Amino acid sequence: MKKLVWYMFFITLLVLASCKQEEVPTVINCGDDEILVDGACQRVKSDFEKTFDATDSMSNYTLSISIQQLADVYDMVLMVDGDKSSFTMGLETEYYEKQGNTIDRYYPVGEGYRKENSAQSSTTQSFHFFKDLEASWFQVVSNRYFLKSEYNDEVAAFFQSEFPGSTVSNLELVVGETYFESIVFDVTVNSVMYRFTMTLSNVGQTTVTLPTV
C-alpha cells in the first residue's frame, strides 16, 4: 500500500511538471522598413542607399572627368586597379602605386619615366570624394537626385587643396542599377565657374600597368 502511495505521488509530480506553463516568447515588432535579424530589428536599405555602399567598395574602375569653362574643355581620365592607378591629362600620363602609407609616383621624363616615393596623397585624391557622399545628403526632384544645399560645403572641402576658396553648387548624381553612373556639379573659383562632369565606367574591368623605370 505504501509503495502504491509513493508511486501515485511520483506520477502526480510528473504530471504537474509537464503541465508547467511554458515561457511566453518575447514578441518583437519591427517597423515597415525593418527586418528581424538575430533578435534585433535592422533597417532595410533602399536601392538608392545600396548604390552608395557598392560604389564605396569599388577598387577597380575608370573615372572620366570633363571640366568646362565657357568654350574651354579639359578632359582627364583616372584609372584605378587596386593599389595601382593612372591619371591622364592631355598627352601625359602619371602612375601611382600605394606602398603601405606611402605612394610611388611615376612621372614622365623625356621618353621614359622616373619614380619617386612620397608620404603625400596623390594629386588625384580629391576626385575620389564621391566615395564619401551619403544618401541622406540628397533630395529627389522629378526622379533626379540633387545634393541638398546645406551639404555643398562638405563637397567643396575636397577641392580646397587644388582650388583654395572654391565653392560647389548644383550637384546632381546619376545612379545605375549597382553603382553611380555620373556626377555633375559646378565649382566656382574667384568668380569663375567650372562645370565638372565625372563619369564612372569599366567597373571591375580596368587594368593599370606600371611603366618600367
pTM score:
0.76
Q: Are residues 159 and 62 in the same domain?
A: yes
Residue 207 inside a domain? The answer is: no
Residues 138/146, Cβ–Cβ less than 8 Å: yes
CATH code, 63: 2.50.20
| Tens-place pLDDT, residues 107-161 | 999 889 999 987 765 556 667 888 899 999 999 998 899 999 999 999 998 888 7
Q: Are residues 61 and 159 in the same domain?
A: yes
Q: Are residues 90 and 184 in the same domain?
A: yes
Q: Are residues 90 and 123 in the same domain?
A: yes
* DSSP string computed for 81-133: ETTEEEEEETTEEEEEEEETTEEEEEEEETTEEEEEEESSPPTTGGGGGGGG-
Q: Are residues 65 and 32 in the same domain?
A: no
pLDDT in the model for residue 5: 44
Q: Are residues 92 and 106 in the same domain?
A: yes
Residue 139 inside a domain? The answer is: yes
| Tens-place pLDDT, residues 26-50 | 666 666 566 656 667 766 778 889 9
Q: Are residues 53 and 30 in the same domain?
A: no
* Cα 57 from chain centroid (whole Å): 6
The pLDDT of residue 6 is above 90: no
**How many alpha carbons lie under 13 Å from residue 100 in its C-beta half-sphere?**
3
CA distance 196 to 187: 7
Residues 198/180, Cβ–Cβ less than 8 Å: no
Q: Are residues 10 and 75 in the same domain?
A: no
Number of domains present in the structure of the chain:
2
Domain extent for 72: 47-201
Residue 74 inside a domain? The answer is: yes
